[in-house]
């Protein structure tokens, strides 16, 4: 096992340690009952619950299944999604905060039930989840959250100390949460879907959709799929006819794995203050290691990405005596304006188009919430959680101020990036380095590999024209506006962009 995969990128332990079947590319036009675009945890669990109800499903994945955020998660299964319950009570009222908790609690239990009844070997382990602080300024926040737990009826509350051996001044605990190996879990569900007659396609990029009855999804290779229902489980919605780009922002986070020097007594941990530090145990090659994650930031913005890995590793070495890191990887998730995911009918005009996104780095349970809401809506069954998560809630947007702020941030990057003329030129870029440069009077992006081979691209993002920035942690060009990512040769690594960056031939 290695920290680097065949494409010379940092590898995720989950993907590296699993035997994953490969699926064919779509090669002909076809009709399906339910087309699910995206093969991450959202697409797979939704396909599974629909197939179990006897419906015919087909998953279409742009790259390979689970290779998006799902394959690069930290895989805590919990309803403890940061310090949110007090905030949700203030914003949405206690009944809605309770519904959010209930939906995620039931999702956690459903996942355990699937694992037990289907006999899935995926290192599922029940754990208590803690948010701790070593900063006295946060004690009040923890105590308010404890009050919120009480009003909602969450098992747990404020505790003076945590089992993990680290300095702290108190914590809030949520009992009986869990952790698992997400790729082993989902690989099993994929097999079940196949056995129930579901179809799975990889390397099949959906590019646009003509809405109708049925709707027609177009793929990059020219094939078309007509479907009675279309579910956008593509992380950033592949068909953005209602301005999701203005209502979601991407944030990256980093994960490293290493063996601690001292004994770890179990539990899932998150600190209350910034930068975020998350800890959980994982068994790799028969040894108990710890996964440390955090150091999140808006994609394509802030300090060089490599420094985020270094900061996490420094912290893990200082507090847990980790000497060697076996894995490091990073990924991004999407955050909605009011911190609630968008799950349900994409818009009112067509009851057959569905979306699930905006999981705010807590998609292990919220994807399962989404699977059940979408299944019930398609089957015309009542679902008591549907209204809370409905994407339509933005027609009466309570967070208009935030919408404006997000768009100002995008506009600043759009305009600021265009005017930028970096001081660097091609000759200033060292081997193994990437940087924004000025070439022929315009902003461009240059990367030189270790052998000195040069790759130059136009840094204008092909989604909506913001300027991409170099990601030194993953050797990619990342867009600060909606999180598209491109390889150093300009190929799309992650949408919403669909077209590669223009290559520049250097004379
Ligand atoms: C570092 C990190 C740690 C996290 N840790 C946790 C955690 O501990 N617990 C937790 O609950 N959550 C966690 N999360 C969040 C969780 O991992 C995500 O919310 C979840 O994986 C999202 O799943 P998804 O299926 O919606 O998206 P993805 O896994 O990204 O799947 C979407 C898929 O759609 C495909 N796709 C995109 N566009 C197209 C197209 N046009 N055509 C076809 N296919 C397309 C993509 O290739 C991708 O495979 C974490 C997130 C990060 C970034
Ligand atoms: S402009 Fe939208 S992702 Fe780049």
Q: 425 and 380, same structural domain?
A: no
Pocket test for ligand 2, best of 299, 463, 468, 492 (most atoms within 8 A of CB): 463
**Which neighbouring-strand residues pair with 258?**
290, 325
- Which tens digits make up the pLDDT trace of 243-252? 788 888 899 9
Q: Are 453 and 436 in contact (CB under 8 A)?
A: no
- Measured from the alpha carbon of residue 498, the closest ligand is 1
For ligand 1, atom 41, name the residue with the nearest CA.
206
**How does the average pLDDT of the chain come out, rounded?**
92
Q: 490 and 422, same structural domain?
A: yes
Confidence of residue 1 (pLDDT cuts 50, 70, 90): very low
Residue 405 CA to residue 399 CA, distance in Å, equals 10
Q: What is the DSSP string of 206-251?
A: EEEEE-SSSEEEEETTS-EEEEEEEEE-SSS-SS-SS-GGGTEEEE
Q: 489 and 422, same structural domain?
A: yes
> Is residue 344 situated within a structural domain?
yes
For ligand 1, atom 1, name the residue with the nearest CA.
253
- Measured from the alpha carbon of residue 331, the closest ligand is 1
pLDDT of residue 9: 61
Rounded to the nearest angstrom, the distance between the alpha carbon of 97 and the centre of ligand 1 is 24
- The answer, yes or no, to whether the previous bond of 214 is cis (omega within 30 of 0) is yes
Which atom of ligand 1 lies at the shortest distance from residue 498's CA? 41
> Which residues have a Cβ under 8 Å from the Cβ of 412 and sit 6 or more positions away?
none
More confident residue, 155 or 304: 155
Which atom of ligand 1 lies at the shortest distance from residue 70's CA? 21
> Is residue 385 situated within a structural domain?
yes
> Is residue 441 situated within a structural domain?
yes
Pocket test for ligand 2, best of 497, 498, 501 (most atoms within 8 A of CB): 497
Rounded to the nearest angstrom, the distance between the alpha carbon of 240 and the centre of ligand 2 is 13
- Give the strand pairing for 171-179 and 125-132: antiparallel
pLDDT of residue 299: 86
CATH number for the domain including 372? 3.50.50.60
- Which tens digits make up the pLDDT trace of 416-438? 666 678 888 999 999 999 999 99
Angle at 226 between CA 223 and CA 232, to 5 degrees: 90
Where among 392, 407, 431 does a domain terminate? 392
Asked if residue 501 has its Cβ within 6 Å of ligand 2, the reply is: no
Question: Which residues sit with their C-beta closer than 6 Å to ligand 1?
Answer: 37-43, 60-63, 67-70, 73-76, 205-206, 233-235, 238, 253, 255, 293, 331-333, 359, 361-365, 367, 495
Q: 486 and 382, same structural domain?
A: no
Mean of the pLDDT values across residues 79-104? 96
Q: Mean pLDDT: which of 131-135, 335-339, 476-480 is highest?
A: 131-135
Asked if residue 463 has its Cβ within 6 Å of ligand 2, the reply is: yes
- Measured from the alpha carbon of residue 466, the closest ligand is 2
> Is residue 354 situated within a structural domain?
yes
Rounded to the nearest angstrom, the distance between the alpha carbon of 151 and the centre of ligand 1 is 32
Q: Is 294 left (phi over 0), alpha (psi -120 to 50) or beta?
A: left
- Which tens digits make up the pLDDT trace of 17-56? 999 999 999 999 999 999 999 999 999 999 999 999 999 9
- Measured from the alpha carbon of residue 460, the closest ligand is 2
Mean of the pLDDT values across residues 191-215? 96
Q: 428 and 385, same structural domain?
A: no
- Measured from the alpha carbon of residue 334, the closest ligand is 1
Which atom of ligand 2 lies at the shortest distance from residue 465's CA? 1
Pocket test for ligand 1, best of 182, 333, 373 (most atoms within 8 A of CB): 333
- Which tens digits make up the pLDDT trace of 365-414? 999 999 999 999 999 999 999 999 999 886 445 555 666 666 666 666 66
Which atom of ligand 1 lies at the shortest distance from residue 366's CA? 11
CATH number for the domain including 444? 2.102.10.10
> Is residue 406 situated within a structural domain?
no
> Is residue 42 situated within a structural domain?
yes
Rounded to the nearest angstrom, the distance between the alpha carbon of 421 and the centre of ligand 2 is 20
Confidence of residue 454 (pLDDT cuts 50, 70, 90): very high
Rounded to the nearest angstrom, the distance between the alpha carbon of 478 and the centre of ligand 2 is 9
Q: Are 316 and 327 in contact (CB under 8 A)?
A: no
Query: What is the three-state SS of 369-431?
Result: HHHHHHHHHHCCCCCCCHHHHCHHHHHHCCCHHHHHHHHHHHHHHHHHHHHCCCCCCHHHCCC
Q: 343 and 237, same structural domain?
A: yes
Q: 348 and 235, same structural domain?
A: yes
Rounded to the nearest angstrom, the distance between the alpha carbon of 414 and the centre of ligand 2 is 9
pLDDT of residue 390: 95
* Domain span at 378: 29-73+183-247+339-392
For ligand 2, atom 3, name the residue with the nearest CA.
482
Q: 377 and 478, same structural domain?
A: no
- Which tens digits make up the pLDDT trace of 267-281? 999 999 999 999 999
Rounded to the nearest angstrom, the distance between the alpha carbon of 466 and the centre of ligand 2 is 6
Nearest to 308 by CA among 321, 319, 295, 318: 295
Mean of the pLDDT values across residues 457-465? 93
Rounded to the nearest angstrom, the distance between the alpha carbon of 178 and the centre of ligand 1 is 19
Nearest to 60 by CA among 172, 197, 199, 180: 199
More confident residue, 403 or 473: 473
Q: 422 and 358, same structural domain?
A: no
3-state class (DSSP) for residue 465: coil
pLDDT of residue 2: 47
pLDDT of residue 404: 63
Number of domains in the chain: 2
Rounded to the nearest angstrom, the distance between the alpha carbon of 418 and the centre of ligand 2 is 13
> Is residue 503 situated within a structural domain?
no
Asked if residue 492 has its Cβ within 6 Å of ligand 2, the reply is: no
> Is residue 349 situated within a structural domain?
yes
Which atom of ligand 2 lies at the shortest distance from residue 468's CA? 4
Q: 365 and 227, same structural domain?
A: yes
Which atom of ligand 1 lies at the shortest distance from residue 363's CA? 19
């Amino acid at each position: 096992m290695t920290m680097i995969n065949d494409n010379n990128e940092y590898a995720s332990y989950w993907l590296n340690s699993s035997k994953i079947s490969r699926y064919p590319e779509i090669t002909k036009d076809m009709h399906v009952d339910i087309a699910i675009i995206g093969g991450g945890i959202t697409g797979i669990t939704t396909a599974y619950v629909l197939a179990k109800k006897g419906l015919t499903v087909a998953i279409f994945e742009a790259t390979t299944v689970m290779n998006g955020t799902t394959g690069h998660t930290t895989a805590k299964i919990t309803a403890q999604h940061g310090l949110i319950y007090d905030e949700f009570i203030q914003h949405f009222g206690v009944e809605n905060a309770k519904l959010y908790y209930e939906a995620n609690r039931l999702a956690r239990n459903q996942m355990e039930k699937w694992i037990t009844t289907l006999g899935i070997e995926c290192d599922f382990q029940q754990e208590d989840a803690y948010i701790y602080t070593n900063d006295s300024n946060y004690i009040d926040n923890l105590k308010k959250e404890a009050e919120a737990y009480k009003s909602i009826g969450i098992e747990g509350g404020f505790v003076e100390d945590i089992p993990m051996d680290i300095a702290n001044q108190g914590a809030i605990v949520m009992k009986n949460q869990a952790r698992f190996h997400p790729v082993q879990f989902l690989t099993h569900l994929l097999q079940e879907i196949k056995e129930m007659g579901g179809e799975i396609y990889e390397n099949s990029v959906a590019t646009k959709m003509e809405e109708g009855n049925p709707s027609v999804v177009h793929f990059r290779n020219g094939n078309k799929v007509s479907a009675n229902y279309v579910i956008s489980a593509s992380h950033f919605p592949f068909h953005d006819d209602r301005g999701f780009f203005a209502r979601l922002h991407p944030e990256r986070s980093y994960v490293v794995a290493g063996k601690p020097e001292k004994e770890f007594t179990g539990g899932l941990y998150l600190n209350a203050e910034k930068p975020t530090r998350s800890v959980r145990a994982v068994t790799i090659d028969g040894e108990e290691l710890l996964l440390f994650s955090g150091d999140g930031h808006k994609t394509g913005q802030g300090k060089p990405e490599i420094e985020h890995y270094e900061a996490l590793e420094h912290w893990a070495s200082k507090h847990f005596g980790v000497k060697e890191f076996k894995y490091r990887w990073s990924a991004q998730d999407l955050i909605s304006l009011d911190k609630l995911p968008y799950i349900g009918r994409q818009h009112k005009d067509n009851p057959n188009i569905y979306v699930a996104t905006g999981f705010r780095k807590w998609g292990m349970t919220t994807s399962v919430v989404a699977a059940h809401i979408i299944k019930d809506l398609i089957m015309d069954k009542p679902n008591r959680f549907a209204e809370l998560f409905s994407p339509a809630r933005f027609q009466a947007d309570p967070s208009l101020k935030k919408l404006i702020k997000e768009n100002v941030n995008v506009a600043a990057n759009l305009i600021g990036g265009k005017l930028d003329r970096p001081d660097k030129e091609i000759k200033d870029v060292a081997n193994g380095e990437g940087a924004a440069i000025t070439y022929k009077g315009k902003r461009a992006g240059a990367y030189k590999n270790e052998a000195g081979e040069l790759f130059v691209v136009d840094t204008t993002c092909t989604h909506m024209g913001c300027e991409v920035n170099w990601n030194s942690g993953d050797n990619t060009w990342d867009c600060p506006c909606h999180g598209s990512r491109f390889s150093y040769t300009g190929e799309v690594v992650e949408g919403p962009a669909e077209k590669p960056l223009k290559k520049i031939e250097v004379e």
